[in-house]
Amino acid sequence: MQKLKYFIACLLMLSVIAVRAQGSKHTFELADSAFMLDGKPFQMISGEMHYPRIPREAWRARMKMAKAMGLNTVGTYVFWNVHEPQKGKFDFSGNNDVAEFVKIAKEEGLWVILRPSPYICAEWEFGGYPYWLQNEKGLIVRSKEPHYLQEYATYIKEIGKRLAPLQVNHGGNILMVQIENEYGSYGSDKEYLAINQKLFKEAGFDGLLYTCDPPADLVKGHLPGLLPAVNSLDNPAKVKQIIRENHDGKGPFYIAEWYPAWFDWWGTTHHTVPAAQYTGRLDSVLGAGISINMYMFHGGTTRSFMNGANFKDNTPYEPQISSYDYDAPLDEAGNATAKYYAFRDVIKKHLPAGQTLPEVPAKKPAISIPDIKLTSSSAILSNLPAPKNSLDALTFEDLHQPYGFVLYRTKIQGGKTGTLRLAGLRDYAVVMINGKRVGMLDRRLNQDSLSLTLPKGPITLDILVENLGRINFGKYLLQNKKGLTGEVSFAGRKVQHWSMYGLPFDNVNTIKYAASAPNKNQPVILKGKFDLKTIGDTYLDMQNWGKGVVWVNGHNLGRYWKVGPQQTVYVPAEWLKKKDNDIEVLELLNPHKTISAISTPILDKLQ
């Protein structure tokens, strides 16, 4: 009898748990003019922020800032090349734990708009595609080509395993899921879009799916039957008109990307837009009951080598900077800007009756570090791995190397003057003769040739090539290989017999240093240590340096380049400690023995 009672009690407990779990589920549906959350009209006031661009340790703090500005939702892309860096090898750890990002949002009272399209654009390397897709014979991204669809399906199923259970109809906080991304700006194949929808459903995304496109391309990029969201447009009447025209005369109405500012690329002016130009527009959009996603609410930083680039016919190649500050309401370090407070005041006017906003969290402390000594150095040419040899120069993709640098080395006969030509240079080259730098070539400036006078005898020619970021938008997605992608010639004769040294710099712990002055004639890595009395955000001042990459405590903080407009490198407080901080600097052009950090960023200085 006791066993029977125990068994019945267990069944009752399980029933209660099941009922509670079922009760935690929500409904999110489309009405003719509004989104309906649990049967009641719901206006999304959303802001975009990307988990790889924010230290994991700071995700929750950024969410609190979103809530305090009046957002009820956050949007994020999902980044294929972050999660499957090499074919079949998936990574959802650390800063890649997108499921945890979504769960933290729920804990902070925020809904999520998820954008896991294999193509994201996002000013991100290759538009989010993993580099290795280019090694798959015949594969064509954003197409019905079978091999692409096979890799796509494998990826989206892995994403679905982790994120589909977090949809609102399963008790989670993901309201909607976007298929593809601004496809109308690229193509118009409705059958391809339908395949996207099918793959998403097979991956478990069984809630609301939608598409988004700029107004001029919405007809091409919209899949009938799904909600068409519009990007960039913020005239309420026009937003409603274009969505109704493509959705059986109905809403609801959603601006999937509303731009309060813009991004930057190397060598051009920092983009800023005063809040006053947008507060009236925001007021009118919210007043019209239209849902909105600010792109970006908080940009953060594009660390490692993950920035993308723009390139069109008859325009320069434009690699984006590491700072993704974006002149957004929340700055690169996560602090409220004047734009934040201006938008907050607008949002307050449109809150449901009786609802108030949390207090804005205090500004994060920032520190300066006047003098960090770089006591060790390592010349790149003295720290090379085993080479791969080939008659002709191989691309990064041929070498199965995603990012970073490759050193190309060969021997040529000296005693002559001629032009060194690197056809198809992708993207920046430091040229050295017998270990001494003799010039640089920059794809941004359409440079691929250098006049050289060689000393007599056998000459060692070294060409250090940097991948500055694969194109993330447009037709040139299909022409995105890196390194020396064409013929190399000197004085009109083809140069062959190359040794290639991969330098991905994905693990700086293996670098061997010496306590010696840096060699200013060739690229060098420098290392130092520093202690702190107090911990805070800081910005490495790189104005007097040349070009390179910085690591602090093993974290790749991104690129710097004297051309600007970015002159500082953001160091998050979350990645600092009071004792024994390590700093490593890869400098291509102008090394120094000390480095300093300041308490405010410099993002608007061209040199």
Q: Quote the tokens at residue 484.
A: 């020396």
Residue 253 · residue 291 · CB < 8 Å: yes
Looking at the DSSP bridge assignments, the partners of residue 191 are none
Main-chain dihedrals φ then ψ at residue 458, nearest 5 degrees: -65, 135
Beta strands (DSSP E) in 8-78 are: 28-30, 35-37, 40-42, 45-48, 73-77
Q: 48, 84, 125, 182: which one is catalytic?
A: 182
Q: Quote the tokens at residue 341.
A: 């407070």
In which residue are the tokens 């409220």 written?
A: 336
Lay out the sheet containing 524-530: strands in order across: 555-561, 547-552, 581-587, 524-530, 369-379, 594-598, 538-541, 568-571
3-state secondary structure of 57: helix
414: which residues sit within 8 A by CB, 6+ positions away?
454, 455, 456, 457, 458, 459
Q: 257, 332, 466, 584: which one is catalytic?
A: 257
The yes-or-no answer on residue 257 being catalytic is yes
Look at residues 469, 416, 415, 142 and name the one whose alpha carbon lies nearest to residue 303: 469
Residue 457 · residue 415 · CB < 8 Å: yes
The yes-or-no answer on residue 182 being catalytic is yes
Look at residues 435, 437, 429 and name the one whose alpha carbon lies nearest to residue 485: 429
Looking at the DSSP bridge assignments, the partners of residue 430 are 440, 464
Just list the catalytic residues. Answer: 182, 257
